[in-house]
Amino acid sequence: MTVGLGLAPVGPVDLVVGGARLVVTMDDARTELLGGWVAIDHGAVVALGSSSQPEPPARRRVDAAGGLVTPGFVNTHHHLYQNLTRALPPSTSQGLFGWLQTLYPIWAGLDEEAAYVSAWVGCAELLLGGCTTTMDHLYVHPTGGGDLITAEIAAATDVGIRFHATRGSMSRSRKDGGLPPDHVVQEHDEILADSERLVDLHHQRDRLAMVQVALAPCSPFSVTPELMAETAALAERLDVRLHTHIAEDLDEDDYCREIYGCRPIEHLEEVGWGSDRTWVAHCVHPNEAEVERLGRWGTGVAHCPSSNQILGAGLAPVQELRAAGAPVGLGCDGSASADSASLWMEARAALLLGRLRGGAAAMQARDALELATRGGAACLGRAGTIGELSVGSAGDLVVWPLDGVAHAGALADPVEALLRCGPTSARTTVVAGEVLVDGGCLVHEDVAANLARHARIAERWQS
């Protein structure tokens, strides 16, 4: 079938990705095109077809022969700067709270160069794992650290990935009953003023926006209820989205009961965050009534399977949340807890954990693909633009290899093969019509230089 071929412009388009074994569009009808191709012009998809329709002429053609084409994956929760403290022993064996207390003093070294370089390397790693849009939750703003959000947006722009920065914040330090040390928290007025400045400076409102900004107080144990409520009001006024961690760990349940006299999701509602403007990270421990409430609000959930496993947080009720109506996407989470940043791996882990929780019938590869694409787009407020391939959607896609030793014998279903075989990384990653990963390698010339800068900072931090 051809979808919207008539809308292709006269003359050659910028890019055609063609000859795929299968194109999984993830459009509203979940159309799958055998032998398919996708045409992209001016950063957007202008036409799609199967092998029986001729490809339009193009200035560049990527041969996807034998591969599976999907929309680019969407990362809905991450802390890019944490790749400077990756796999640092023994932090993750201490559970969430012990892990954070080990790392807060090291993260206090964050400055503009560290924010830029960690984001550059992190975004490059994400492209290799099939991610074309990532958010970042940067909540450590040490005194004198500079404009960290602007630095990471510059890095993401240089790499070429679609980027949703979130202005994270912490306002409740140890002296006020919170978890972080005093020198990494900020005053309410400073946080709110900087949030508004960053939205004014960077938030693009056009449909194909490459950079957006959301507001993201860190967690119930590091910000005050007043800051949560004031941030929700500011997000409403500026018309931007809201993000935070919630219900990640049972220690957090105990903390909320003791400090706020209620459960984490009840706390979320009390501070005015029960809304479809909000997406939350983790949400491992909502009870049945809370799942129903999150669905009714339309609050999105960033499911982070690797992080939840490494920190022993538990099995998130992903299918229950989806059935209740809550959009669910995938997140790598911070590199210091998950230690890797591959959305392919998160999609596979979501498939396996979904089955572990609900039985073998509970989750199929197409469900996991839905989380990685459309679910993520809905969390970021970009449904219909990213996370699907349809006429007018963003020109963001991935060609996945289905050949070689790891896929030998996988003939029946390319989508099941994608997530049940492997390990797999992208053969080609395209963002806004630009080929950023080609033949499994980053095309950017600055990889070695940025890795060397990254190594210098990581050594300084960890010495």
Q: Which stretch binds Zn ion (CB under 5 A): 116-124, 250-258, 328-336, 411-419?
A: 328-336
Q: Which stretch binds Zn ion (CB under 5 A): 286-294, 332-340, 341-349, 418-426?
A: 332-340
252/333 with CB nearer Zn ion: 333
Q: Which residues contact 311 (CB under 8 A, 6 or more apart)?
A: 92, 95, 96, 99, 249, 337
Q: Which stretch binds Zn ion (CB under 5 A): 155-163, 329-337, 418-426, 454-462?
A: 329-337
133/424 with CB nearer Zn ion: 133
3-state DSSP: the chain helix, strand, coil percent, rounded to 5?
Answer: 40, 20, 40
Looking only at Cα atoms, what is the longest distance across the chain? Answer: 68
Least distance (Å) between residue 258 CB and Zn ion: 22
Q: Which stretch binds Zn ion (CB under 5 A): 160-168, 259-267, 326-334, 425-433?
A: 326-334
Compute how many residues bind Zn ion; rule: CB under 5 A. 1
14/333 with CB nearer Zn ion: 333
Residue whose entry in the numeric block shows the structure tokens 């003023």: 193
Which residues are 303's β-sheet partners?
330
Which residues are 441's β-sheet partners?
438
Least distance (Å) between residue 328 CB and Zn ion: 16
135/153 with CB nearer Zn ion: 135
| Whole-number Cα distances in Å, 341 to 73, 138, 375, 420, 422 | 12, 16, 18, 19, 16
Least distance (Å) between residue 370 CB and Zn ion: 22
Least distance (Å) between residue 168 CB and Zn ion: 10
Least distance (Å) between residue 204 CB and Zn ion: 24
Binding pattern to Zn ion, positions 375-414, x when CB under 5 A?
Answer: ----------------------------------------
| Whole-number Cα distances in Å, 17 to 67, 370, 445 | 11, 21, 23
d(CA 358, CA 352): 10
Q: Tell which residue, 404, 429, 411, 418, has the closest CA to residue 345.
A: 418
Q: Which stretch binds Zn ion (CB under 5 A): 58-66, 289-297, 325-333, 424-432?
A: 325-333
Least distance (Å) between residue 50 CB and Zn ion: 40
Q: 3-state SS string over 377-421?
A: HHHCCCECCECCCCCCCECCEEEECCCCHHHCCCCCCHHHHHHHC
Q: Tell which residue, 153, 162, 146, 143, has the closest CA to residue 112.
A: 146
Least distance (Å) between residue 346 CB and Zn ion: 13
Q: Which residue number is nearest to Zn ion in terms of Cβ?
A: 333
Query: Which residues contact Zn ion (rule: CB under 5 A)?
Result: 333
